[in-house]
Chains A and B, each alone.
Chain A
Amino acid sequence: MLTFVARRLVATLLVLLVASFIVYVLTANSGDPLRELRGSRDPSAQDQIAYLSGLLNLDQPPVLRYFSWLGGVGACFIGQCDLGISVARGQQPVIEAIGGALGSTLQLVLAATILAIVIGVAIGMTTALRQYSGYDYVVTFLTFVFYSLPIFWVAVLLKEFGAIQFNSFLGNPVIPWWSILIIGVVMGFIASSIVGGELRTRVISFVSVGGGIAALLILLDVTRWFESPSIGFVGIALMSVATAAVVLFTSTGFHNRRALLAVGIIVVLTVILSWPFQFLFYYVNSPWTVLLVLAILVGLGLLVGFFVGGDGKAVVARTAAIVGGLGVLPLVLDQMFIRWDEYVARIPLSNGVIATIGASTPAIRRVDDTWLNMLDSLTHMLLPTIALMIISLAAYTRYARASLLDVMNQDYVRTARAKGLGERTVVMRHAFRNAMIPIATIIALDFGAVIGGAVITERVFAWQAMGSLFNEGLHRIDVNLVMGFFLVTGILAVIFNVIADLLYSALDPRIRVS
């Protein structure tokens, strides 16, 4: 397996090297970097042209310049990176420009990809399992529509409608009755379609899920929750129970008493421990606390599963650990929403709560509070992530559906059913894993679309991130800046490929063996 991944890694790096040469030469030939200076009547322009030409070695052909650039990149291995200077940004070293831009783009790309995979695979699988249902047709049609949407159009729409409408809603948070009705009916429809089965079961799931969500919305409306959103004990308990229910439903089912008991214990522990954890989050104010709490909860889950598990220790322990790990989410969200009033007080008056410009609020960046900064990032990233996710989502949904349908018709699935396994075990244990093999390939292929989408999304939401490096660099023919962008996307491409290969070999034993 390691040789497989290593071989792929070397091949990708070589391909990347050739690609970087092509991009460098093409960019260098795409125009004149000193065009603005040449047209200027400034008496010092001639001196500047001579100075910059010398600095950028413009008297040499692009091929030679490429190799001196490559030499600077190669020096990174001995700790002396030199990616050249950016003319477009007042001779700022490119490495500095990347340092300031990398973080937010990375967050955006990773969040959008992970969300697209998780949600897309979930939707694709449910449509495959309920093939030819109304839900399947609606989703299939919607994937076609999403597939055909230009990302810049979606981003502008989200910015102008999503953000502004939601912000004005938060100004006077009253949910109209008809939107409660519509949300309830839609959620009920989705739930009843996924659960499927007889009409009676469907009606029950429709009423319980749709009614439950409508009741929750009415409750939030009546208690004026949106005026100062918080999560608190009740929120943590509700969210933990909900995640526990979803995990149980997909992994062991509710009939497994031991798993039910273990998960119940973990949920109770999470809610009880949320009180001491508050102090931990407050005094150890750093992102690493999240990992610490995650480790504690996963460890507790494993322990509880081990002691309660009985015969199926491994399965119960795994389920409880997953529930424990997901329990971190409400805890962190709680910390973020505790600082809601502080956040609202600190953002500029002209901005709404959901930001549409930039990747963070400068006034908040100066405050040394991890959770406040997290909340700030969340409100800034929300819309760009949705815009970027929607496009990939359609692709993942379609591939997951096609792939699972393909697998469900295989002989070994019939064998699994024939030997008496439950439908849940057949789907989750036998079919799911094999259906994921093609998805692993898509992750590497989809990468280009995500990077391209990020460039456009960042432009629409005016982020000063990697996308603006590329836009600015190409508009002003600043080869070093463009190559800095290319280097980062190239490394990202390599990482995505390695992840895809690792997934591939983890899912497909044939690759591990050979």
Chain B
Amino acid sequence: MTDKKPVVDEQSSGQELSIEQRATVGLSQGAIVRRRFLQHRGAVVSVFVLLFLVLLAFTSVGTVIGGTGKLTPDPSGTRLIVDGFRIPGWWGYTWWERYDIMLPGGAPTFTWWPFSFGEHPFGQDNTGKDVFARVMRGMQQSLNVVFIVGIISTVIGVVLGALAGYYRGWVDQVIMRLTDVIIIVPLLILGAVLGQTIGGDAFLLAVMIGLIAWTGMARLVRAEFLSLREREFVDAARVAGASDFRIIFRHILPNTVGVIVVSATLLMSAVILLETSLSFLGFGITAPDISLGQIISEYNEAFKTRPWLFWWPGLFIVVIALCINFIGDGLRDAFDPRQKRVPRQRSLGSEIGNFFKAYIPGARPGDGTSNK
């Protein structure tokens, strides 16, 4: 909880301010959080990498909005067209059409020296499809699932957690027992059963996962509400005549935003692994739709002969999950300064210096052991 904004009033101005206070005097809550977040180098880099990946995925091969994604031959009969509103991208190939195989076996045309991407930098599969286009489309779908699940389960988790924590009593009992029932079934199992029911569509799958992935969020928000509802500002609001709705959403909820943001981020990194795992097992996104897990599942058997079909989708899964995890860590540091890392100012270089200083003739005893 970082709702204590340091204020320099007349009584405390005589006291010494800590470095933290001095640095934050006169800053708004948002500015403090932003500053702390920017200090986490890994998180900042991750934000840029993730933005780059999102841009790359959506602009390169374009996207399809709405429609069923089914493939039908166009009137002239030479090309397949995809159902839905197609926005083309700057990449010349599509993820569903077959092309002439350039190198033997469809090997990647990417070379370091001379540096060139070639026609199919990630290679081609055994039918001649462009792997780069497929991976980009798969990444789009995986990212879509991540964001949809993130939004749906955060909303459900926050509302249910808030109601349970604020009203307590039978409301709390009902909501928490529901949470227990969902949590005891491994998420992968429940997701697989739901995924089998809806049969392979990315959007529906995301909605389904969103409907079951909110339990952790609900528990956290409930715990926050249980402690915050006893605070004075809630009493003050109630005395002033605020309705329950207003107290929950205008007074208490803003104080829990840190917990919500952090846990939503970590949830999203778990979701990309869940979605790709489901698709790998064949219960998530299935052909003709594409996701990163579905690509690995489709090409699993070809690993020995065409390893590039396996490397690229896996690499992008790891990078996306890693970025989201780092951003979550940075947000946690920003919202919860108790867990912030304050590295000691010490480097190996100075230590080695001390070591030699301690052993040269004439050095005073104890010189080299200052790092206790």
B186 on the A face (CB < 8 A): yes
Would you call A489 and B189 a contact (CB within 8 A)?
yes
B188 touches A452 (CB 8 A): yes
| Chain B positions 289 through 317: 1 when the CB is less than 8 Å from some CB of chain A, otherwise 0 | 00001001000100110000010001001
Query: Which residues from A are CB-within-8-Å of B197?
Result: 26, 29-31
Q: Is the CB of B318 within 8 A of A145?
A: yes
- Interfacial residues of chain A within 455-502, with CB under 8 A of chain B in the complex: 455-456, 459, 470-471, 474-475, 477, 482, 486, 489-490, 493
Chain A: minimal CB distance from B23 (Å): 21
User: Which B146-181 residues sit within 8 Å CB-CB of chain A?
Assistant: 177, 180-181
Is A31 touching B196 in the complex (CB atoms < 8 A)?
Answer: yes
Cross-chain contact A22 with B181 (CB below 8 angstroms): yes
User: In the bound complex, do residue A474 and residue B277 qualify as a contact, i.e. CB atoms below 8 Å apart?
Assistant: no
Taking a contact as CB atoms under 8 Å apart, the answer to whether B181 and A153 are in contact is no
Q: Assess the A148–B193 pair: CB atoms within 8 A.
A: no
A16 engages B193 (CB within 8 Å): no
Name the distance in Å between B25's Cβ and chain A's nearest Cβ: 26
Evaluate contact between B185 and A23: CB separation under 8 angstroms: yes
Residues of B within 8 A of A148 (CB): 269, 273, 318, 321-322, 325
Q: Select which of A19, A134, A449, A459 is within 8 A of B184 by beta carbon.
A: A19
Q: Is the CB of A156 within 8 A of B310?
A: yes
In the complex, whether A15 has a CB less than 8 A from a CB of chain B is yes
Q: Does B221 contact A (CB under 8 A)?
A: no
Return the contact of A26 from the options B177, B180, B194 (Cβ within 8 A): B194
Any A CB within 8 A of the CB of B56: no
Number of interface residues of B (CB under 8 A): 51
Asked if B344 is at the interface of the complex by the 8 Å CB criterion, the answer is: yes
In whole Å, how far is A489's beta carbon from the nearest beta carbon of chain B? 7
- Please name all residues of chain B whose beta carbon is closer than 8 Å to the beta carbon of A153 when the two chains form the complex: 296, 314, 317-318
Across the interface, do B355 and A199 meet the contact criterion of CB distance under 8 Å? yes
Q: Is the CB of B186 within 8 A of A150?
A: no
**Contact assessment for A144 and B329 in the assembled complex, using a CB-CB cutoff below 8 Å:** yes
Complex CA gap A30/B321 in Å reads 30
Cβ of B269 to closest chain A Cβ, rounded Å: 7
Contact mask for chain A residues 157-168; partner B; CB cutoff 8 A; 1 contact, 0 none? 000100000000
- Asked if A412 lies at the interface with its beta carbon under 8 angstroms from chain B, I say no
Asked whether any CB of chain A lies closer than 8 Å to the CB of B210, the reply is no
Nearest-neighbor residue (CB-CB) of B178 within chain A: A18
B351 at the interface (CB under 8 A from A): yes
Q: Which residues of A contact B194 (CB under 8 A)?
A: 26, 30
Q: Would A145 and B184 count as touching, CB distance under 8 A?
A: no
Given A160-B304, A452-B189; A474-B196 close (CB under 8 Å):
yes
Q: Are A12 and B184 in contact, CB atoms less than 8 angstroms apart?
A: yes
Q: Does B276 contact A (CB under 8 A)?
A: yes
Q: Is A277 an interface residue (CB 8 A)?
A: no
| Chain A residues with CB below 8 A from B186, complex form | 447-449, 451-452, 489
Tell me the chain B residues, 314-372 only, with Cβ under 8 Å from chain A: 314, 317-318, 321-322, 325-326, 329, 339, 341, 343-344, 348, 351-352, 354-355, 368-369, 371
Q: Which residue of B lies closest to A198 (CB)?
A: B369
A147 part of interface (Cβ distance < 8 Å): yes
**Min distance, Cβ B209 to any Cβ of chain A, angstroms:** 13
Q: Which residues of A contact B352 (CB under 8 A)?
A: 199
B74 to chain A, nearest CB (A): 30
Contact mask A123-144 → B, CB, 8 Å, 1/0?
A: 0000000001010000000001
With A150-B317, A474-B196 known as contacts, the answer to whether A144 contacts B343 (CB < 8 A) is: no
Residues of B within 8 A of A474 (CB): 192-193, 196, 283
- A156 contacts B300, CB within 8 Å? yes
| B193 / chain A contacts, CB cutoff of 8 Å | 23, 26-27, 30, 474, 482
Quick check: is A151 within 8 A (CB to CB) of the other chain?
Answer: yes
Kindly state the separation between the CA atoms of A22 and B182 in the bound complex, as whole angstroms: 9
Whether the pair B322, A150 counts as a contact (CB closer than 8 A) is no
CB pair A151–B277 under 8 Å, yes or no, is yes
Q: How far is the CA of A475 from the CA of B195 in the complex (A)?
A: 11
CB B7 to nearest CB in A, in angstroms, measures: 27
A293 to B300 Cα, complex, angstroms: 45
In the complex, chain A residues 1-56 whose Cβ is within 8 Å of any chain B Cβ: 11-12, 15-16, 18-19, 22-23, 26-27, 29-31
- B51 in the interface, Cβ–Cβ < 8 Å? no
The yes or no answer to A200 lying at the interface (CB within 8 A) is: yes
A69 at the interface (CB under 8 A from B): no
Among the listed A26, A31, A156, A471, which residue makes an inter-chain contact with B303, where contact means beta carbons less than 8 Å apart? A156
Is B281 in contact with chain A by the CB < 8 A criterion? yes
Closest A residue by C-beta to B320: A148
Q: Which residues of B contact A451 (CB under 8 A)?
A: 186, 188-189
**Chain B residues whose CB sits within 8 angstroms of the CB of A482 once the complex forms:** 193
Most chain A CB within 10 A, of B189, B326, B339, B368, is at B189
A489 to B348, CA, bound (A): 50
Q: Does A149 contact B (CB under 8 A)?
A: yes
Q: Which residues of A contact B368 (CB under 8 A)?
A: 198-199
Query: Is A226 an interface residue, CB under 8 A from the partner?
Result: no
Knowing A29-B197, A153-B296, A456-B277 are in contact, say whether A18-B189 is a contact too (CB < 8 A): no
B302 to chain A, nearest CB (A): 11
Do residues B351 and A456 form an inter-chain contact, with CB atoms below 8 A?
no
Across the two chains, which residue of chain A brings its CB closest to B177?
A15
Whether A23 and B322, one on each chain, are in contact in the complex, defined by CB atoms closer than 8 angstroms, is: no
Asked if A233 is at the interface of the complex by the 8 Å CB criterion, the answer is no
| A23 to B181 alpha-carbon distance, docked (Å) | 10
B101 within 8 A of A: no
Residues of A within 8 A of B196 (CB): 27, 30-31, 474-475, 477
With most chain A CB atoms within 10 A of its CB, the pick from B273, B322, B326 is B273
Nearest to A154 among chain B residues (CB) is: B314
Instruction: Please measure, in the bound complex, the distance between the C-alpha atom of A459 and the C-alpha atom of B317, giving whole angstroms.
Output: 20
Does any Cβ of B come within 8 Å of A432's Cβ? Answer: no
Candidates B189, B329, B354; contact of A470 at CB < 8 Å: B189
A475 neighbours in B (Cβ, 8 Å): 196, 282
Query: In the complex, what residues of B have CB within 8 A of residue A27's CB?
Result: 193, 196
Q: How far is the CB of B287 from chain A (nearest CB, A)?
A: 15
Shortest CB distance B265–A (Å): 13
Contact A199 B354 (CB under 8 A): yes
Please determine whether B317 and A147 come into contact, CB atoms closer than 8 angstroms: no
Interface of chain B residues 246 through 273 with chain A (CB within 8 A): 269, 273
Q: Please measure, in the bound complex, the distance between the C-alpha atom of A175 and the C-alpha atom of B300, giving whole angstroms.
A: 31
Residue B280 is within 8 A (CB to CB) of chain A in the complex: yes
B49 within 8 A of A: no
Q: Is the CB of A455 within 8 A of B354?
A: no
B-chain residues with CB within 8 Å of residue A149 when the two chains form the complex = 318, 321
**Residues of B contacting A337 in the complex (Cβ-Cβ under 8 angstroms):** none
The distance in angstroms between the C-alpha atoms of A243 and B108, with both chains bound, is: 50
The answer to whether B177 and A455 have CB atoms under 8 Å apart is no
Structural contact, B281 and A199, CB atoms closer than 8 A: no
Q: Kindly state the separation between the CA atoms of A31 and B197 in the bound complex, as whole angstroms.
A: 6
Q: Is the CB of B281 within 8 A of A455?
A: yes
Q: Which residues of the partner chain A approach B304 to less than 8 Å between Cβ atoms?
A: 160
| A/B interface sample: 16 pairs, CB < 8 A | A16-B184, A19-B181, A22-B181, A26-B194, A27-B193, A145-B318, A150-B277, A151-B273, A402-B339, A448-B185, A452-B186, A452-B188, A456-B188, A470-B192, A471-B282, A489-B186
- What 5 pairs across the A-B complex have the smallest Cβ distances? A452-B188, A148-B321, A448-B186, A30-B197, A148-B322
Chain A interface residues toward B at CB < 8 A: 11-12, 15-16, 18-19, 22-23, 26-27, 29-31, 132, 134, 144-145, 147-153, 156, 160, 198-200, 402, 447-449, 451-452, 455-456, 459, 470-471, 474-475, 477, 482, 486, 489-490, 493
Q: A148-B325, A153-B318, A156-B310 given; name 9 further pairs at CB < 8 Å.
A: A148-B322, A150-B314, A160-B303, A160-B304, A199-B354, A459-B281, A470-B192, A471-B282, A477-B196
